[in-house]
Structure 1
Amino acid sequence: MPLTVLGPLVVFGLLAIALTIRVLRVSQPFSFDSEADAVAALARHMPGRRATGVMLSADRRSALVETPEGGVLIWAFGADTVAHALHGATPAPTRDGLRVRLHDFAAPGPRLALTPQERDEWQRKIEDLAA
Protein backbone atom coordinates (compact mmCIF):
# COMPACT_ATOMS: atom_id res chain seq x y z
CA MET A 1 0.00 0.00 0.00
CA PRO A 2 1.45 3.41 -0.91
CA LEU A 3 2.45 5.71 1.95
CA THR A 4 0.15 8.45 0.62
CA VAL A 5 -2.80 6.15 1.34
CA LEU A 6 -1.49 4.47 4.50
CA GLY A 7 -0.61 7.73 6.32
CA PRO A 8 -4.06 9.34 6.15
CA LEU A 9 -5.72 5.97 6.81
CA VAL A 10 -3.78 5.58 10.08
CA VAL A 11 -4.30 9.21 11.16
CA PHE A 12 -8.04 9.23 10.47
CA GLY A 13 -8.42 5.78 12.02
CA LEU A 14 -6.82 6.94 15.27
CA LEU A 15 -8.94 10.10 15.29
CA ALA A 16 -12.08 8.00 14.76
CA ILE A 17 -11.15 5.72 17.67
CA ALA A 18 -10.42 8.66 20.00
CA LEU A 19 -13.67 10.39 19.03
CA THR A 20 -15.67 7.19 19.53
CA ILE A 21 -14.19 6.69 23.02
CA ARG A 22 -14.96 10.31 23.91
CA VAL A 23 -18.54 10.22 22.58
CA LEU A 24 -19.37 6.88 24.21
CA ARG A 25 -17.69 8.00 27.47
CA VAL A 26 -15.97 4.66 27.86
CA SER A 27 -13.06 6.21 29.76
CA GLN A 28 -14.26 8.39 32.64
CA PRO A 29 -11.82 10.50 34.65
CA PHE A 30 -11.06 9.05 38.08
CA SER A 31 -12.72 10.46 41.19
CA PHE A 32 -12.59 9.35 44.81
CA ASP A 33 -15.93 8.06 46.10
CA SER A 34 -14.78 8.12 49.72
CA GLU A 35 -11.76 8.41 51.96
CA ALA A 36 -11.43 4.63 51.68
CA ASP A 37 -10.64 5.08 47.97
CA ALA A 38 -7.78 7.42 48.89
CA VAL A 39 -6.46 4.90 51.44
CA ALA A 40 -6.68 2.14 48.80
CA ALA A 41 -4.79 4.33 46.31
CA LEU A 42 -2.11 4.98 48.94
CA ALA A 43 -1.79 1.23 49.56
CA ARG A 44 -1.45 0.61 45.82
CA HIS A 45 1.19 3.32 45.22
CA MET A 46 3.09 3.11 48.54
CA PRO A 47 2.40 -0.29 50.11
CA GLY A 48 4.45 0.31 53.27
CA ARG A 49 2.61 3.45 54.36
CA ARG A 50 -0.40 3.59 56.67
CA ALA A 51 -2.88 6.47 56.43
CA THR A 52 -3.59 8.39 59.64
CA GLY A 53 -5.72 11.13 58.07
CA VAL A 54 -7.35 11.92 54.73
CA MET A 55 -8.65 15.14 53.17
CA LEU A 56 -10.61 14.93 49.91
CA SER A 57 -11.10 17.90 47.62
CA ALA A 58 -14.64 19.03 46.85
CA ASP A 59 -14.33 17.84 43.24
CA ARG A 60 -13.12 14.41 44.49
CA ARG A 61 -10.13 14.45 42.13
CA SER A 62 -7.39 14.86 44.72
CA ALA A 63 -6.61 13.69 48.26
CA LEU A 64 -4.15 14.76 50.89
CA VAL A 65 -3.14 11.80 53.04
CA GLU A 66 -1.24 11.99 56.32
CA THR A 67 1.04 9.07 57.22
CA PRO A 68 3.56 8.55 60.04
CA GLU A 69 6.32 9.04 57.44
CA GLY A 70 4.87 12.36 56.18
CA GLY A 71 2.22 13.63 53.80
CA VAL A 72 1.26 12.15 50.46
CA LEU A 73 -0.63 13.91 47.69
CA ILE A 74 -2.78 11.67 45.50
CA TRP A 75 -4.44 13.11 42.41
CA ALA A 76 -6.42 11.86 39.44
CA PHE A 77 -4.51 11.44 36.21
CA GLY A 78 -6.98 10.33 33.58
CA ALA A 79 -8.69 7.14 34.69
CA ASP A 80 -6.05 6.38 37.37
CA THR A 81 -4.25 8.09 40.23
CA VAL A 82 -0.75 9.34 40.92
CA ALA A 83 0.76 9.58 44.41
CA HIS A 84 3.78 11.54 45.53
CA ALA A 85 5.35 12.22 48.92
CA LEU A 86 5.17 15.87 49.92
CA HIS A 87 8.67 16.18 51.42
CA GLY A 88 10.03 19.49 50.14
CA ALA A 89 6.89 20.38 48.17
CA THR A 90 5.83 24.00 47.83
CA PRO A 91 2.22 24.98 47.15
CA ALA A 92 1.40 28.14 45.21
CA PRO A 93 -2.11 29.58 44.93
CA THR A 94 -3.67 29.84 41.48
CA ARG A 95 -6.94 31.36 40.29
CA ASP A 96 -8.78 28.06 40.64
CA GLY A 97 -6.82 26.19 43.31
CA LEU A 98 -3.20 25.28 43.99
CA ARG A 99 -0.14 24.36 41.97
CA VAL A 100 2.16 22.06 43.94
CA ARG A 101 5.86 22.02 43.06
CA LEU A 102 7.17 18.61 44.02
CA HIS A 103 10.88 19.31 43.45
CA ASP A 104 11.21 16.11 41.45
CA PHE A 105 11.97 16.48 37.75
CA ALA A 106 10.28 13.15 37.06
CA ALA A 107 6.97 14.27 38.61
CA PRO A 108 5.41 17.40 37.19
CA GLY A 109 3.62 19.47 39.80
CA PRO A 110 -0.13 18.97 39.72
CA ARG A 111 -2.69 21.75 39.51
CA LEU A 112 -5.40 21.05 42.05
CA ALA A 113 -8.88 22.48 41.50
CA LEU A 114 -9.96 23.72 44.94
CA THR A 115 -12.56 26.10 46.30
CA PRO A 116 -11.18 29.31 47.86
CA GLN A 117 -11.80 27.92 51.36
CA GLU A 118 -10.11 24.63 50.48
CA ARG A 119 -7.17 26.40 48.86
CA ASP A 120 -6.16 28.13 52.10
CA GLU A 121 -6.63 24.99 54.20
CA TRP A 122 -4.77 22.75 51.74
CA GLN A 123 -1.93 25.26 51.36
CA ARG A 124 -1.37 25.35 55.13
CA LYS A 125 -1.61 21.57 55.40
CA ILE A 126 0.81 20.94 52.52
CA GLU A 127 3.31 23.40 53.98
CA ASP A 128 3.09 21.59 57.35
CA LEU A 129 3.42 18.11 55.82
CA ALA A 130 6.26 19.14 53.46
CA ALA A 131 8.55 20.32 56.25
Structure 2
Amino acid sequence: MESNQTHTITIHFRQENRTISLEIPEGESILRYFEEKGETLPFSCRNGCCTTCAVKVISGSMDQSDGIGLSKQMQDNGYGLLCVAKVNGPLEVVTQEEDEVYELQFGKYLGSIKNKAGNPFDM
Protein backbone atom coordinates (compact mmCIF):
# COMPACT_ATOMS: atom_id res chain seq x y z
CA MET A 1 0.00 0.00 0.00
CA GLU A 2 1.48 3.34 -1.03
CA SER A 3 1.48 6.29 1.33
CA ASN A 4 0.39 9.73 0.18
CA GLN A 5 2.31 11.28 3.05
CA THR A 6 5.17 13.68 2.32
CA HIS A 7 8.08 14.60 4.55
CA THR A 8 10.43 17.56 4.66
CA ILE A 9 13.94 16.54 3.65
CA THR A 10 16.59 19.17 4.38
CA ILE A 11 20.12 18.82 3.06
CA HIS A 12 22.90 21.14 4.20
CA PHE A 13 25.18 20.97 1.15
CA ARG A 14 28.34 22.10 2.89
CA GLN A 15 30.57 21.90 -0.20
CA GLU A 16 28.42 24.63 -1.78
CA ASN A 17 27.54 26.39 1.49
CA ARG A 18 23.79 26.15 0.91
CA THR A 19 20.74 24.44 2.36
CA ILE A 20 18.00 22.81 0.29
CA SER A 21 14.62 21.59 1.60
CA LEU A 22 11.96 19.70 -0.33
CA GLU A 23 8.71 17.95 0.52
CA ILE A 24 9.17 14.39 -0.73
CA PRO A 25 6.64 11.56 -0.81
CA GLU A 26 7.34 8.68 1.55
CA GLY A 27 9.25 5.84 -0.13
CA GLU A 28 10.83 8.05 -2.82
CA SER A 29 14.55 8.04 -3.62
CA ILE A 30 16.05 11.16 -2.05
CA LEU A 31 18.82 11.74 -4.61
CA ARG A 32 16.57 11.09 -7.60
CA TYR A 33 13.81 13.37 -6.27
CA PHE A 34 16.22 16.26 -5.64
CA GLU A 35 17.63 15.82 -9.16
CA GLU A 36 14.13 15.84 -10.67
CA LYS A 37 13.60 19.21 -8.98
CA GLY A 38 16.83 20.59 -10.48
CA GLU A 39 18.97 20.27 -7.35
CA THR A 40 22.36 18.69 -7.99
CA LEU A 41 23.89 16.79 -5.08
CA PRO A 42 27.17 14.87 -4.83
CA PHE A 43 27.07 11.27 -6.09
CA SER A 44 29.11 8.83 -8.15
CA CYS A 45 28.09 5.19 -8.34
CA ARG A 46 24.32 5.44 -7.62
CA ASN A 47 24.52 1.93 -6.16
CA GLY A 48 25.29 2.59 -2.51
CA CYS A 49 28.84 1.28 -2.91
CA CYS A 50 31.08 4.34 -2.67
CA THR A 51 30.91 7.24 -0.22
CA THR A 52 30.64 10.22 -2.59
CA CYS A 53 27.03 10.90 -1.56
CA ALA A 54 27.57 10.29 2.15
CA VAL A 55 25.69 12.41 4.66
CA LYS A 56 25.57 12.70 8.44
CA VAL A 57 22.08 12.66 9.90
CA ILE A 58 21.27 15.64 12.10
CA SER A 59 17.71 14.53 12.81
CA GLY A 60 15.30 11.93 11.50
CA SER A 61 16.04 8.73 9.63
CA MET A 62 16.07 7.26 6.13
CA ASP A 63 15.63 3.82 4.62
CA GLN A 64 19.00 2.81 3.19
CA SER A 65 18.49 -0.93 3.17
CA ASP A 66 19.56 -1.14 -0.50
CA GLY A 67 23.08 0.19 0.14
CA ILE A 68 26.23 -1.77 0.91
CA GLY A 69 28.79 1.06 1.01
CA LEU A 70 28.42 1.83 4.71
CA SER A 71 28.86 -0.61 7.54
CA LYS A 72 26.08 -1.17 10.04
CA GLN A 73 28.27 0.61 12.59
CA MET A 74 28.57 3.70 10.36
CA GLN A 75 24.80 3.71 9.81
CA ASP A 76 24.25 3.33 13.57
CA ASN A 77 26.56 6.35 14.03
CA GLY A 78 24.27 8.45 11.83
CA TYR A 79 25.83 8.19 8.37
CA GLY A 80 23.89 7.47 5.21
CA LEU A 81 24.19 7.36 1.43
CA LEU A 82 21.80 9.60 -0.49
CA CYS A 83 21.91 7.57 -3.70
CA VAL A 84 20.11 4.61 -2.10
CA ALA A 85 18.25 6.47 0.65
CA LYS A 86 14.47 6.49 0.60
CA VAL A 87 12.19 8.77 2.56
CA ASN A 88 10.61 7.23 5.65
CA GLY A 89 10.02 10.42 7.65
CA PRO A 90 11.31 13.96 8.14
CA LEU A 91 15.07 14.17 7.72
CA GLU A 92 17.84 16.72 8.10
CA VAL A 93 21.36 15.84 6.96
CA VAL A 94 24.67 17.47 6.12
CA THR A 95 26.84 16.33 3.20
CA GLN A 96 30.27 14.90 3.99
CA GLU A 97 33.57 14.80 2.19
CA GLU A 98 34.05 11.41 0.52
CA ASP A 99 37.59 10.95 1.89
CA GLU A 100 36.41 11.84 5.38
CA VAL A 101 33.78 9.08 5.45
CA TYR A 102 36.04 6.58 3.68
CA GLU A 103 38.73 7.15 6.31
CA LEU A 104 36.21 6.77 9.16
CA GLN A 105 35.04 3.47 7.75
CA PHE A 106 38.23 1.91 6.37
CA GLY A 107 41.20 3.90 7.64
CA LYS A 108 41.87 1.81 10.72
CA TYR A 109 41.85 -1.37 8.61
CA LEU A 110 43.92 -0.09 5.69
CA GLY A 111 46.59 1.26 8.03
CA SER A 112 47.02 -2.15 9.65
CA ILE A 113 47.43 -4.22 6.47
CA LYS A 114 50.94 -5.63 6.18
CA ASN A 115 51.94 -7.07 2.82
CA LYS A 116 55.13 -9.11 3.27
CA ALA A 117 55.84 -8.97 -0.46
CA GLY A 118 55.61 -5.19 -0.45
CA ASN A 119 53.22 -2.92 -2.27
CA PRO A 120 52.72 -4.18 -5.86
CA PHE A 121 52.19 -0.61 -7.01
CA ASP A 122 55.70 0.35 -5.91
CA MET A 123 57.28 -1.80 -8.65
How does the TM-score come out when normalised to structure 2? 0.24
Higher relative CO (CA 8 A, sep ≥ 6), structure 1 or 2?
2
